[in-house]
Structure 1
Amino acid sequence: MNTEHDEPLSPGGRLFVQPATHQVINTAFGLERTIEPDALLTAISDSLITKHPRFSSLLVTDSDGHEHWRKVELDIHRHVIVRPDPVGEGDNNEEIVNDYLADLAVSSPLDTNKPLWEFHLLTAHKCVVMRVHHALGDGISIVSLGITMCRRLDDPEQTPTIEHLVSSTQKAENPGRLEKILKVLKMVWFSLMYAFEFIIRAVWVKDRKTVLRGGEGVELWPRKIATAKFSLQDMKTVKNVVTNATINDVLFGVISSGLSKYLDSRLLDYIQEGLQITGVALVNLRPSPGLKDMKELMKKNAGTAGWGNKVGFMLLPVYYHRNRSDPLQYLKRAKLMMDRKKLSMEAFLSHHIGCFLMKFFGAKFASSLSYRVACNTSFTFSNVVGPRDEMTVAGIPIKYIRTTISSLPHAIIMHIMSYAGKADMQILVAKDLIPDPEKLAKCFEDALLEMKEYAVQI
């Protein structure tokens, strides 16, 4: 067999094919009505999915144990799985789809005898699930590629507009020399402090054991999914009452408040004021947030703006508080923490240190380290800024886009995807620890509504 054209995996790709950190991205497109299998096949064939080299390559391993991509002839029919019969009981299609995604998160790896992607057409539930191995790219890359199947609802000749949220953080117009020096010193200090924290998290420091924290082996436990639904306008209303706040600040304030509400609802005697609950956030390292123009992503000289796993990691501590009088305090505390994180090089360093460890110590060592960090923290979080236009696929309007990933040692995995003025958070939980994720989702929704009600009174 000719192997001279095989291409080695990127460091990120090698990480995500290791057993301890094996990941598949599952993205659900909810439709207004059922799409026919032939129409879905045509939409995929006409998109950039079949033209991307990663999507027509097999994952192979050489005699030295090194992974490579090998080009093959693509048979698209092998990648579309039609499920004509109901895949669950009940009348709520969204809940049934969530149950289906929860099962995929634990017990359904992709077939390595074909390129590592597939579509599941759930005809009875008006939904298409796109499954792509994380080794092919990160969430922004994958969902951006999937949206090349779509067209704008108001103008079927146009592809969807990519959303770009501009940070409201104001920069000093002409900072003085002293201010520049202080900023550099802060950057160095916070970078060193957070890098040290990351190291000790991988070695021995753990969150206190609560119902929110998983641990080794929890990635194999049965899962449930619930969806928290937010309005982007409500987030902007809250953001605007706190100077220089961002949408991400609001999100972390909502998470802090929502987790506190949920812990209160469980009536746990051991929960103390100020209890730290640490999350691992996936951070986009590209120059701008949100989904990308695929032509730009696929340029060979695109650098950090291009295709692939261009993500870093940050540890994001939130704290339990019985703070009901002023819900905006959750946002203000989150903003203080996020300002320090953004000033540091934590995400950049985590990415490049991971590449260094991969190169000199091997993929298994880097994967083991990442797994340890997950075991010692409590939740995963990511946020993808999606299209602002309503879209169609094969002429059928899309009601929602939601994404999640395979299980991790965390008991809670949260992924937010915005679309057409809404933001849906998929909350994947270990149901033996959190049997009522619907209550957790409502705690998050109530947290934002409380902040909004308080904000409009100011």
Structure 2
Amino acid sequence: MESCSGNMTVLRPIRTSKQENGEEEEETALLSPASRMFHEPNYNIHIVAIMGWKVPIEVDSVKAEIQRKLLKHPRFSSLQVMDESDGSRKMRWVPTTVNIDDHTIVPQIADDNMDTDKLVEDYISNLSTTTIDMSKPLWDIHILNVKTSHAKATSICRFHHSLGDGIALISLLLSCFNKSSDPTSLPTLPVSSSSSSFSSTSKDKSNLSISNKKSNWYLIWQYLEKFWLFIRLLFNTVVDVLLFIATALFLKDSQSPFTVARGFDKSSTRQIFIYRTISLDDLKFIKNVTNATVNDVILGITQAALSRYIQRGHEVGGKRKFLPERMRCRAAVLINLRPALGVQAVAEMIEKNATVIQGNCFGFIIIPLTIAQLENPLSYIHKAKISMDRKKRSLESQCTFYFLQLFLKFFGFKVATKLAQKVPSQTTLAFSNVAGPLEEVSCAGHPLAFLAPTCYGHPTGLMVHACSYAKKLTFAIAVREGIIPDPDHLGDDFVDSFMLIKEAALAKLRTKVD
């Protein structure tokens, strides 16, 4: 069963108990409360990993690799069964025999007279109107051997969110891959480290302590600084939690082109998925020039793209329909509170048939977005950095997690699910990012071209995911059909905004050199 107290989650082993007739009855593990929430109506969320390949896919070899590795994981070889015997409607993991052919779909959609990019996009969008059959483990893979402008072939791995969060599932998926440069080695994921600003500060303090180690004033200054940091952390947390509660109750973002209109039927509309790839090296160049983080730059590009989309074409009778300077726009971000195990640890677990797993353990943070026509494109990065630095000095995600747990305990799944659904629906977009492999990888001899994880079933009209892979970063943008009339233009705005910010960073660097 899942637990949020440590770095990993342990699925209790299946125990058996003797019955009177001498037969054994399996005692199975319960779904965690967070995983159980994803089975409530209107919160039936599926994670989708879109993968482009540099070569056509040999289906049998990929199926063999999945059979050899992924199916050893208990979540991918277990049913989720409702237990109504005591009226509690609890769900349990029940091990079953998996037929790999039931989970592998290879549609024949090739047509020389049609736009293959459009065919693949429509196929993925049509998936968003379907769910996975509960009579089998809740995952499948769709293989489209169709050449597009992005890749020679495309596959879509689909998982029900109750299997785990995006970071855990991507780590599991990558355990089926190897480095292209060394087929005997597993992929490596980036390791988070302390920011340079924090490390430089501690270095300065150590130098100061050497020169003033006998000074009582230095000790007093240390205590005062720690006290001030604590007060700031407490103040930021209280403000953020109050804004979270206000958002859950009444505080809604301004009307915008991305807002789901009242009465819009989300259950019967498709998700449109657009993905655009940019250079990760160029993104890191911008990071260095602006003294920001990769996440700051990603959020800055998102703000610039949304601003560009609104400014470009939303006018009625010669007047702007939306006034960005007066708009309240925020992003609801789901924060994984449990550190990821990593590909190496997951692969070792699978090889040893271990039952250590990770599930859903998340909290919310709400980040204000700057939607405006800024003269200097780098200003989007600076404003994103201010917002992100402010959130780093708050315990909002931890507090919202425990807040949700209290609702689960005292009010049940239905009320807790409404809360988890209400907060994102009151904001402009949902936002997430995942760190992919540092190097190029292959699965069963098939080199990967790009990786674009996203999801459908969420309550917002717009969701933005960012995923790094080797020297690339892909934005996966999910919008509800009928809300944004030209989603491809929105995708292009991400690339155009990135290029403008890069040019501004180059100009700033040249100015420094001169």
Could you tell me which residue of structure 2 aligns to residue 374 of structure 1? 424
1:210 deviates by: 1.7
1:293 deviates by: 3.8
Could you tell me which residue of structure 1 aligns to residue 460 of structure 2? 410
1:292 deviates by: 6.9
Contact 2:237/2:396 (<8 A) preserved: yes
**1:402–1:316: structure 2 CA closer, same or farther, 3 Å change rule?**
same
**1:25–1:335: structure 2 CA closer, same or farther, 3 Å change rule?**
same
- 1:51 pairs with one of 52, 57, 72: 72
Q: Distance in 1 between matches of 2:236 and 2:64?
A: 51
Paired residue secondary structure (2:333):
strand
Letter in 2 for 1:104: L
1:370 deviates by: 1.6
**1:192–1:11: structure 2 CA closer, same or farther, 3 Å change rule?**
same
Q: Distance in 2 between matches of 1:143 and 1:44?
A: 14
Q: Distance in 2 between matches of 1:409 and 1:257?
A: 23
Aligned alpha-carbon RMSD (Å): 2.4
1:254 deviates by: 0.9
**1:292–1:166: structure 2 CA closer, same or farther, 3 Å change rule?**
farther
1:289 deviates by: 10
- 2:236 pairs with one of 165, 186, 190: 190
Paired residue secondary structure (2:466):
strand
- 2:126 pairs with one of 99, 103, 107: 103
- 1:337 pairs with one of 373, 379, 387: 387
**1:133–1:292: structure 2 CA closer, same or farther, 3 Å change rule?**
farther
**1:289–1:59: structure 2 CA closer, same or farther, 3 Å change rule?**
closer
- 1:74 pairs with one of 87, 92, 98: 98
- 1:365 pairs with one of 412, 415, 421: 415
Q: Distance in 2 between matches of 1:159 and 1:315?
A: 35
Could you tell me which residue of structure 1 aligns to residue 358 of structure 2? 307
Q: Distance in 1 between matches of 2:448 and 2:197?
A: 36
1:114 deviates by: 0.5
Residues 234-282 of structure 1: CA distance to partner in whole angstroms, max 9, x if unpaired? Answer: 2111111223x11111111111111110001123324221422111112
Q: Distance in 1 between matches of 2:461 and 2:362?
A: 22
Could you tell me which residue of structure 2 aligns to residue 275 of structure 1? 327
**1:181–1:203: structure 2 CA closer, same or farther, 3 Å change rule?**
same
* Runs of 5+ unmatched residues, structure 2: 1-22, 148-152, 206-220, 509-514
Q: Distance in 2 between matches of 1:408 and 1:215?
A: 15
1:290 deviates by: 7.8
Contact 1:386/1:417 (<8 A) preserved: yes
Letter in 2 for 1:259: L
Residues 204-232 of structure 1: CA distance to partner in whole angstroms, max 9, x if unpaired? Answer: 11111221111565533233221122211
- 2:310 pairs with one of 253, 256, 263: 263
* Residue identity (%): 32
TM-score (norm 1): 0.92
How many residue pairs match? The answer is: 450
Paired residue secondary structure (1:276):
coil
Could you tell me which residue of structure 1 aligns to residue 186 of structure 2? 159
Could you tell me which residue of structure 2 aligns to residue 254 of structure 1? 301
1:367 deviates by: 0.6
- 1:201 pairs with one of 247, 266, 271: 247
Contact 1:291/1:386 (<8 A) preserved: no
Contact 1:279/1:381 (<8 A) preserved: yes
Is 1:41 equivalent to 2:63 in the alignment?
yes
Could you tell me which residue of structure 2 aligns to residue 231 of structure 1? 279
Q: Distance in 2 between matches of 1:153 and 1:86?
A: 28
1:419 deviates by: 0.6
Contact 1:354/1:366 (<8 A) preserved: yes
**1:209–1:335: structure 2 CA closer, same or farther, 3 Å change rule?**
same
1:372 deviates by: 1.5
After superposing the two structures, state which structure 1 stretch, 431-440 or 111-120, moved more.
431-440
Q: Distance in 2 between matches of 1:92 and 1:239?
A: 36
**1:297–1:429: structure 2 CA closer, same or farther, 3 Å change rule?**
farther
Could you tell me which residue of structure 2 aligns to residue 401 of structure 1? 451
**1:219–1:307: structure 2 CA closer, same or farther, 3 Å change rule?**
same
TM-score (norm 2): 0.82
- 2:136 pairs with one of 104, 108, 114: 114
Q: Distance in 1 between matches of 2:236 and 2:296?
A: 18
Q: How does 1:132-147 map to 2 (within 5 A)?
A: 132-147=159-174
Paired residue secondary structure (2:385):
helix
Letter in 1 for 2:278: F
